[in-house]
Structure 1
Amino acid sequence: MELIQDTPDLSAYLAADEVIDHDHPVVREAAARLAGCAQDSYDYARSAFEFVRDTIPHSADSGDPRVTWRASDVLERRTGICFAKAHALAALLRAEDIPTAFCYQRLAHDDGSGHVLHGLVAVRFDGSWHRQDPRGNRAGVDARFSLDGERLAWTPEPASGERDHPVLYAEPHPVVLKVLRAAPDRPHLWKTLPADL
């Protein structure tokens, strides 16, 4: 699948805003701590990915009812669903000048009762984009940081209506932000998650 930037302006994939607030002290402190142990930008990107994947539980896995969407809140509260964790990883990567995009998959619910949108990121190294999924591993999920072939949590199965969206967004998609901001808790969020873009 060919990945398509939603804007030709690469600086848009480094920008800070209300959601990807990589200028926030919480984000800056985490980025500085990770960068202090990294040998280069590749090592930093892998470390940031593993930090978000492994130390911030996916709220559905942990049973945490809180809904986070701003990167600094995800890092501070240590909880979030896939979209929120993607926001946190993007902020950490952009804080160290690594272009990072948002991308999405349409996946089937585990029980087969329809579809749900899944969020991940893409990082740019050596002139190419590489998708990464910091969702968090569990039984049946083994996502890993990779610049040499994708190691995502899931591979869509077109026969069941699943698909990858090829567009790389410079900002989180408005459909995603709307449901995250409106949800008082995760049980409510689960009922309002978008099935697609």
Structure 2
Amino acid sequence: MTLFYRAIKQGVYQIFHLRSERPLSRQDASSRISAFVYGDILILAALIALYPEDLLGLKAVSYIVGTGVSTYFAHVLAQSIGSSVETDDHPLGGHLRQEVWHAAPIASAALGPTLFMVAALLGWIGPDLALQLAILVTVIRLAGLGWVVGHLRGERVSVRTLLLGIILAVLCVAAALLKTVATD
């Protein structure tokens, strides 16, 4: 259990700290969690809109990568402009570098699903399985949010943090389904 816990802890550290030696402030952690949720919801909505046959060509890969990249850049720009209200800095000035760092979880949301889709494109796994795994990995990321939030708050893993993660995942899946239904 200790090895598993350390592996999970290191994964969370890399996702939220990007190997930075400085601890995250509550504001930084909040920004990164928001980006994490936002990126996963939009990637999940994009995945739900795909069909297994879309994975046989470049459509699915370009759809997911395009969703991740466009969401990343839109988020960085919006947050940078929004942050400029708090200070006298130019919107594309000092806040831009910080927002690029805060938005990294959006880009990471597209990584796992893209790898499964490339595997299907190369014929290593079937398109049905690849799409199911891409959706599953995104839902697992969302379900882990309760633990991540608890960890960033300094809380130990508990039934409460696990239930919070499951509830968050269900709410995020509902948001992704709503986005998919509303745009189809």
TM-score category by the smaller chain? under 0.3
Structure whose CA Rg is larger? 2
Bigger proportion of residues as helix:
2
Bigger proportion of residues as strand:
1
Return the TM-score normalized by structure 2: 0.28
